[in-house]
Structure 1
Amino acid sequence: MISPRPARVHRARLQLAFLLFAGACATPAKAPSLTGDWDVYLVRGSVARPGFEGWRRMGYAHFEAHDSSVAGSVNRRTGEPILAVTHLEAKADTVTLSGTGNQAIAATWRGDTLSGVMLADGKPAGQRIRFVRRSTPFVAEQPFLLWPGPVSDSQYAVTEDTLVYMRTRDGAKLASYVARPVGKGPFGVVLQRTPYTRILHPAGQYWASRGYIFIAQHVRGRDVSDGNDFGDYDTDVRDGYDAVEWAAKLPGANGRVGLIGHSDEGRLAWYAAVSAPPHLAALAPSAATSDPWRIVPYEDMVFSPINVAWVCLMRARTLQNTNELDIGSELAHLPLSSLPQRLGCGDVPLWDRWLAHSTLDAYWRAHAVTTNIAKVKAPVLQIAGWYDDSRGPIDYTNALLAVPGHPFVRLVMGPGAHKGVDYVAGEFGPESRVETRRLQLRWFDHFLLGKDNGVDREPPFDDFVFGDDRWRKEPAWPLARAVPTKWFLSSGGRANTSAGDGVLDTLAPTGAASDTFTYDPARPTQFLIDSRELETSLNEDYTELNASEHDALVFTSKPLTKPIEVTGQMSATLWAASDAHDTDWIVMLLDVFPDGHAQRVQDGIVRARFRQGYEKEVPLTLGSVEKYDIDLWFTSRVFEPGHRLRVSVSSALFPKYDRNLNTGGNNERDSTFIVAHQRLLHDEGHPSYILLPVVPR
């Protein structure tokens, strides 16, 4: 079990005691007025759970006083309503905001902040909410027109069939939702194969009203589709082929099918594409999940226990509620293999299959898009964000571009995370929000309907650059003009924490030959992640952790005197030694702002046993110096003057990555571990560095 760090526990107890004493002695005060403008933050779960919680600025609110009541609204940042408030009830420091239908908010004042729980039918609805006062009214954020030009208008009436069965070649019945334009046609077909929700009225209305037949099809094992073993993907390549060919022959179809889908749906689109169905005209997935050893369930062949939230979500034939799972507490216990059962999710065959394949074996190769990506013949549009954790858009683009005679590929990388820009901390200007569906529409207008709108002649890479906070069109990915630049790690031998003497510089390392730290799996270095959120790559603030975690080395540059743009894929090379038979080496890149706060940019990991490849496990020789190459993912950002670059090196980032128990055994099924003593070298013969693609400006 993980033990909390005593200093923090004692400090928290003192703070709690002070707050309780202050609360008992305070003189009751009049509650603040709700009138005015507010930022709205949301977090998963009706009650707080142990571990980091991701409070995300999801919206805004405005209230006006009207005699003895308050009328107002709570909206998303784009203006869509969360709650139209029609009634207010206030008693002492508690407030109940009621809206139309069965929705309400029960909240309590804490100073000038109002915090509460979202309710449905008077019961907690799985989210908490916080109102933080604004000094100015909020202006709803509008989508930026990244691809200008005409697209198909909404002009057709729509009919919907919520349950249409398709038979696969082996006789399985797959449930489909079909929305059709009312008219003679013929119409292009947009197909989305999904393990999530089949009946998608908004998507059906959008596509069908614009002259497309829209199909959302449940894969095997979901809802009323045949099959019992969701998640093995054994049939999804051929099922995807069958679905495309079936869709192309539906009444009113023009024989051209386009594939879409987000996240796992995106990978399902790619599974269909690698089967090369003759009637597949184009695909346009967003945030498509990469190969299974790259992101789910493993990240560079290191298991990611945070995916238990997804396993529990998918454990039955329909989506299950995971908002109240106490994942943060249960992650502390070993073995990891029994985590779903400890959470009350029962036996989940998918979880067991994941753990049964802990190397890059034939099972994972057979379930990889990149294994057969040379078979893809249709043009591809890929859409994602720099803080998206899916990894697929970059991985699949790289793999497809390496194929001689590959089809046309367009890549759009914006400022968002897996579920959008609202999950990313910061303000990124008026170009930060782009409507994915409109890009797909323009793409399909050309490739499915034959409209000459120029989408096939425009620059293939749309790049949102943080810092500039603007989009830039590029002639290719990766950028040919980017200069690979080494930033070396060095110190006087005391680089532990940000108060140490670790230095990051483009000059060759000087000073001490190495730094040391101790890695204890009972108290692993922390990664800030909301265990119920399913976002694993956000730009959280690591200032406090950099300052307090002695089991991590920190190397920081001098303040920059000119801007440095980094756009592309990043990597790190470490020379290191351990007294354990296996361990992990993790590098995180951070942007340190002039006020001192350190924001994560990206991180990457290598498990020592896989230093010679993911296919085989090679134990360490105790104390031997080894070279480790680490994939640091990708970014596009300008490090501004006055900012500093920072690199932290550790042997854990938990719970994003499972803890290496340092024994060389099975990290997911074992419960015993040893403490490892680590040494990072950075002398002339063993230069440790990060490699950044620096774009001249």
Structure 2
Amino acid sequence: MAIKTIFIHLLLLLSGTILFAQQDTTADKYKRMEVMIPMRDGVKLHTIIYSPKYPTDKLPFLITRTPYGVSSTRSPEKSDYTKELSSDGYFFVAQDIRGRYLSEGKFEMTRVSRDKKAPKSIDEASDTYDTIDWLLKNIPDNNGKAGIYGISYDGWTSIIAAADPHPALKAASEQATPSDMFMNDDFHHNGAFRLSYGFEYSVLTEAAKTDSLYDFGEYDTYDWYLRLGPLSNINKMYAHSSLPTWNNFIAHPNYDAFWQKQALAYRLDYPRIPIQHVGGWWDEEDMVGPQDVYRRLEKRDSSNRNFIVMGPWLHGQWANGTGKSLGNIKFDDQPTATYFREQIQAKWFAWYLKGKGDGKFAEAISFQTGSNQWKTYTAWPPKESVTKNIYFHANGKLSFEKPTAAETKAYDSYVSDPAKPVPYRVRPIEETYGTNSRWYYWLTDNQRFVDNRPDVVQWQTDTLTEDVTITGNVLAKLFASTSGTDADWVVKLIDVYPKFYKKELKMSGYELMISSDIFRARFRNSFSKPEPLIPGKVEAYAIDLHGADHVFKKGHRIMVQVQSTWFPIYDRNPQKFVPNIYEAKESDYQTATQKIYHSAKFASCIELPVNK
């Protein structure tokens, strides 16, 4: 260690900034230092710094900021996520955000942007700024550059830092960031509340300063949530107003200023630094966020700084293991996660932080499922894709031909009963982050488990005689009515495997969701001002099913399923309009007859981005 480095470490130890400095006695290539970094308002943030023991050049910083605790952070060469990066050489910095684990201050979920007119005001961007400033001044032999990266909440802190960057912040890789907590991802989708995730995540992050799980006292949480009854019983019987985020759900049932000021659409203007957006096609938590943020920034990307990578992954799967499969789905032995870490992530930071490589990155990189091939595109969605509608018909038929007046049956109907909601995955439904939870894989579950339910309707094509490739955004265009005054519409686009699949027998007849989402009908005209439905009136709904890059192979079928409950990942709609569903009474919940139309006049369909 250089004399200068020893002197600086001594000063920091005496000041109490360094909590612990690892002795240089291990075989690790990196040494560990634990520090408390002061912010502009005096709060200190707990930070782990890994420095190469034998650097051959001045190095940049790679930073991750998280609410999930950094004390157990391993040496970078021992983690799948950073192994490829560690071989290049960086200062790796991991920090507890304020109010979490060993950091001082008060935690605030997705903290809103600060008032820049107040010098001591703070937000996650200013905390990142102050951290980088401290690192540049106190860690010797740095090259004056920093990058930030992370998954989920850590992806959100990354994009927030990139929106208001320190001059030394040269690149960001936001991975699985949420973008709008009312419109998509963690807490709501199109206004429908993500009940099990919203409650359990609030407990996880707010019941204590460190992560904690709720004790349900039983394994199958479907039963617990059904017995819960109205949402008001959470505070009445369990949380007792102790969870700030849950209280905010109740106070803000519509898309008001509270949600809008958190949303990235209101906090981002243009790509101020190069940004890589990373997501998974089957991300059970934040699949929409990276696509949404990329799309919004792309509109003002005049400097070619905005890029997107989508792979065949669940939430954060690219960080660990090989990524050769996901649940029951296999990718022809391709190590998709390893490929991302070696060929995409490592090269991204090597170029922007070290000038290493050619700096040529595709606008969009996608692992195309079905064909199981990596693809690159000059734009996302690709300009080569053309919109083609696939229509619902009588007798459960799905076809690219539009219904005609000759078809006599105008709709399919079912009775939706909130007392008997459709489970969103095969039971038992374990606690989200509980032992052996199958939460992580549910988007790839075989949807055949709902085939015989009377409250699920479906349509499918004949066996495909040629491949059908979709690359881009999928949109459901639904014509529907209800006997109630409110409703939820769940739409699922499904790839149905052949009834006898020689390649892998257990996949015979498998019904794999490719795109899906839910829409709360009260928000059909405005997410800020909900309106009751008129019983029996046919309404048009455009439901964004988001991006896909998939080949429906010859011999497969394309299927669409529609239902009105998806429980308990989403709360039960009373199906009677009430001003605030969080305050609904048990008596408000009622059955309703739902009709999905497929006539010449009301031609429900899925708008597919067909890529030839």
The Cα of 1:509 is off from its aligned counterpart by 1.3
Query: How far apart, in 1, do the equivalents of 2:181 and 2:496 lie?
Result: 33
Structure 1 residues 365, 394: closer, same or farther in 2, change over 3 A?
A: same
Query: How far apart, in 2, do the equivalents of 1:415 and 1:659 lie?
Result: 30
Query: How far apart, in 2, do the equivalents of 1:281 and 1:507 lie?
Result: 51
Partner of 1:554: 458
Partner of 1:426: 329
Task: Report 1:285-684 matches (<5 A).
Answer: 285-293=174-182, 294-307=184-197, 308-314=199-205, 315-321=207-213, 326=218, 327-332=221-226, 333-339=228-234, 347-389=242-284, 390=286, 391-420=288-317, 421=323, 423-435=326-338, 436-438=340-342, 439-451=344-356, 453-454=357-358, 456-491=359-394, 501-510=395-404, 511=407, 512-528=409-425, 530=429, 531-532=431-432, 533=437, 534-535=439-440, 538-546=443-451, 548-595=452-499, 596-665=509-578, 666-672=580-586, 673-684=589-600
Q: Is the 8 A contact 1:292 1:368 kept in 2?
A: yes
Query: How far apart, in 2, do the equivalents of 1:340 and 1:645 lie?
Result: 43
The Cα of 1:270 is off from its aligned counterpart by 0.8
- Asked if 1:170 is matched to 2:58, the reply is no
Structure 1 residues 419, 157: closer, same or farther in 2, change over 3 A?
A: closer
Task: Report 1:194-233 matches (<5 A).
Answer: 194-199=66-71, 200-203=73-76, 206=83, 210-233=88-111
Partner of 1:119: none
The Cα of 1:210 is off from its aligned counterpart by 3.6
Matched positions, count:
529
Deviations for 1:162-190, whole angstroms, at most 9, x for unmatched residues?
2x112222222111111112347522011
Report the structure, 1 or 2, having the larger helix content: 2
Cα-Cα RMSD: 2.4
Q: What's the secondary structure of 1:374's corresponding residue?
A: coil
Q: Is the 8 A contact 1:166 1:243 kept in 2?
A: yes
Could you tell me the TM-score, scaled by structure 1's length?
0.72
Deviations for 1:499-531, whole angstroms, at most 9, x for unmatched residues?
xx2111110114211222111111122211644
Structure with higher RCO (Cα < 8 A, 6+ apart): 2
Query: How far apart, in 2, do the equivalents of 1:676 and 1:590 lie?
Result: 26
The Cα of 1:213 is off from its aligned counterpart by 1.1
**Unpaired segments of 5 or more residues in structure 2?**
1-26, 113-122, 318-322, 500-508
Query: How far apart, in 2, do the equivalents of 1:465 and 1:282 lie?
Result: 26
The Cα of 1:693 is off from its aligned counterpart by 0.7
- Asked if 1:273 is matched to 2:149, the reply is no
Q: What's the secondary structure of 1:448's corresponding residue?
A: helix
Q: Is the 8 A contact 2:216 2:224 kept in 1?
A: no
Query: How far apart, in 2, do the equivalents of 1:337 and 1:236 lie?
Result: 32
Q: What's the secondary structure of 1:285's corresponding residue?
A: strand
The Cα of 1:345 is off from its aligned counterpart by 10
Q: What's the secondary structure of 1:295's corresponding residue?
A: coil
Structure 1 residues 407, 428: closer, same or farther in 2, change over 3 A?
A: same
Q: What's the secondary structure of 2:574's corresponding residue?
A: coil
Deviations for 1:460-500, whole angstroms, at most 9, x for unmatched residues?
22211112112122222111111111011111xxxxxxxxx
Q: Is the 8 A contact 2:241 2:247 kept in 1?
A: no
Q: Which amino acid aligns with 1:187?
A: L
Q: What's the secondary structure of 1:434's corresponding residue?
A: helix
Q: Is the 8 A contact 1:195 1:222 kept in 2?
A: yes
Structure 1 residues 582, 423: closer, same or farther in 2, change over 3 A?
A: same
Q: Is the 8 A contact 2:29 2:52 kept in 1?
A: yes
Q: Is the 8 A contact 1:312 1:345 kept in 2?
A: no
Query: How far apart, in 1, do the equivalents of 2:240 and 2:150 lie?
Result: 27
Task: Report 1:137-156 matches (<5 A).
Answer: none
Task: Report 1:92-171 matches (<5 A).
Answer: 157-162=29-34, 164-171=35-42
Structure 1 residues 403, 578: closer, same or farther in 2, change over 3 A?
A: same
**Unpaired segments of 5 or more residues in structure 1?**
1-154, 492-500
The Cα of 1:289 is off from its aligned counterpart by 2.4
For structure 1, which segment, 334-343 or 563-572, has the greater mean C-alpha deviation from structure 2 after superposition? 334-343
Structure 1 residues 324, 676: closer, same or farther in 2, change over 3 A?
A: closer
Structure 1 residues 346, 626: closer, same or farther in 2, change over 3 A?
A: closer
Q: Which amino acid aligns with 1:544?
A: F
The Cα of 1:216 is off from its aligned counterpart by 0.8
Q: What's the secondary structure of 1:485's corresponding residue?
A: strand
Deviations for 1:125-164, whole angstroms, at most 9, x for unmatched residues?
xxxxxxxxxxxxxxxxxxxxxxxxxxxxxx99422112x1
Q: Which amino acid aligns with 1:311?
A: S
Q: Is the 8 A contact 1:274 1:369 kept in 2?
A: no
Query: How far apart, in 1, do the equivalents of 2:240 and 2:204 lie?
Result: 9
Report the structure, 1 or 2, having the larger strand content: 1
Q: What's the secondary structure of 2:351's corresponding residue?
A: helix
Query: How far apart, in 2, do the equivalents of 1:513 and 1:555 lie?
Result: 14
Deviations for 1:177-233, whole angstroms, at most 9, x for unmatched residues?
111123475220111010012131233765566421111111122112122334251
Partner of 1:99: none
Query: How far apart, in 2, do the equivalents of 1:248 and 1:583 lie?
Result: 55
Deviations for 1:365-405, whole angstroms, at most 9, x for unmatched residues?
21122222214311112222211131222111111111152
Partner of 2:117: none
For structure 1, which segment, 379-388 or 182-191, has the greater mean C-alpha deviation from structure 2 after superposition? 182-191
Q: Which amino acid aligns with 1:212?
A: Y
The Cα of 1:346 is off from its aligned counterpart by 8.5
Could you tell me the TM-score, scaled by structure 2's length?
0.81
Deviations for 1:607-637, whole angstroms, at most 9, x for unmatched residues?
1111012122122122222111101122211
Structure 1 residues 369, 241: closer, same or farther in 2, change over 3 A?
A: farther
Partner of 1:181: 52
For structure 1, which segment, 381-390 or 682-691, has the greater mean C-alpha deviation from structure 2 after superposition? 381-390
Q: What's the secondary structure of 1:636's corresponding residue?
A: strand
Q: What's the secondary structure of 1:373's corresponding residue?
A: coil
Structure 1 residues 274, 554: closer, same or farther in 2, change over 3 A?
A: same
Q: Is the 8 A contact 1:247 1:257 kept in 2?
A: no
Q: Which amino acid aligns with 2:569?
A: K
Partner of 1:139: none
Query: How far apart, in 2, do the equivalents of 1:472 and 1:338 lie?
Result: 49
Q: Is the 8 A contact 2:29 2:77 kept in 1?
A: no
Query: How far apart, in 1, do the equivalents of 2:232 and 2:367 lie?
Result: 40
The Cα of 1:586 is off from its aligned counterpart by 1.5
The Cα of 1:669 is off from its aligned counterpart by 3.1
Task: Report 1:49-64 matches (<5 A).
Answer: none
The Cα of 1:537 is off from its aligned counterpart by 5.6
The Cα of 1:409 is off from its aligned counterpart by 2.3
